[in-house]
């Protein structure tokens, strides 16, 4: 397959670099925000090293998402495995995962890089990832990632106010 375009999303979180890193790299952190709104995640394995895997199940939990999954011919829970390719605590995390959950689409790999930097307002994050196989799925992926990052921001904001 030819190389696909890359997409980038940027956010600044009112949280320390270590707090944001923890959300990306611990079972508790990942389970607390990973996945778009209306989905939950259960981590079954986390081996945080280059070549190590994150294995998790993502389940549709909200009625709207459940209905969408059923209409699309997709199961309500999908198993995912991503493999870490680079770990540079607490600034950079890179991983690849296989897109194997889309009906009638040959499996393919998506690369993702998370870069964190301390700034006056807290922690700036740049998330860069490969586009999907077509424009519709790329838009869905962007929306999903934006929803995930909204969930992460809300969680970090709640933690700051406690």
Give per-residue pLDDT as tens, 109-152. 999 999 999 999 999 999 999 999 999 899 989 998 999 999 99
3-state secondary structure the chain: CCCCCEEEEEEEECCCHHHHHHHHHCHHHHHHHCCCCCEEEEEEEECCCCCCEEEEEEEECCHHHHHHHHHCCCCCEEEEEEEEEEEECCCEEEEEEEECCCCCCCCEEEEEEEEEEEECCEEEEEEEEECCCCHHHHHHHHHHHHHHHHHHHHHHHHHHHC
Residue 11 to residue 159: CA distance in whole angstroms: 17
Strands 92-99, 108-119: pairing kind: antiparallel
pLDDT at 2 over 90: no
pLDDT at 8 over 90: yes
Total domain count, the chain: 1
pLDDT at 1 over 60: no
pLDDT at 46: 98
Asked whether residue 123 is domain-assigned, the answer is: yes
Asked whether residue 114 is domain-assigned, the answer is: yes
Whether 85 and 73 have beta carbons less than 8 Å apart is answered as no
Asked whether residue 1 is domain-assigned, the answer is: no
| Dihedral sign from CA coordinates of 143, 147, 152, 157 | positive
Domain that holds residue 107: 6-161
Asked whether residue 51 is domain-assigned, the answer is: yes
pLDDT at 3 over 80: no
Asked whether residue 150 is domain-assigned, the answer is: yes
> Which pair of tokens denotes residue 7?
């997409």
Asked whether residue 22 is domain-assigned, the answer is: yes
The CATH number of the domain holding residue 151 is 3.30.530.20
Distances (CA, A) of 110 to 5, 36, 98, 124, 140: 11, 17, 6, 23, 14
Asked whether residue 52 is domain-assigned, the answer is: yes
Count the residues in the chain: 162
pLDDT digits (tens, 9 = 90+) for 54-107: 999 999 999 998 998 889 888 899 899 999 999 999 999 999 999 887 778 899
């Amino acid at each position: 397959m030819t190389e696909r375009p890359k997409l980038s999303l940027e956010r600044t979180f009112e949280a320390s670099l270590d707090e944001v890193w923890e959300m990306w790299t611990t079972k508790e952190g990942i389970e607390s925000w990973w996945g778009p709104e209306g989905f939950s995640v259960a981590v079954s394995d986390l081996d945080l090293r280059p070549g190590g895997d994150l294995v998790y199940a993502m389940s549709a939990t909200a009625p709207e998402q459940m209905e969408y999954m059923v209409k699309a011919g997709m199961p309500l829970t999908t198993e995912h495995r991503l493999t870490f390719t680079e770990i540079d605590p607490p600034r950079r995390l890179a991983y690849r995962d296989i897109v194997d959950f889309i009906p009638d689409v040959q499996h393919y790999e998506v690369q993702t890089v998370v870069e964190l930097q301390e700034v006056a307002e807290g922690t700036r994050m740049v998330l860069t990832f490969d586009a999907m196989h077509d424009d519709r799925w790329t838009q869905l992926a962007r929306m999903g990632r934006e929803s995930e990052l909204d969930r992460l921001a809300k969680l970090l904001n709640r933690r700051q106010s406690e």
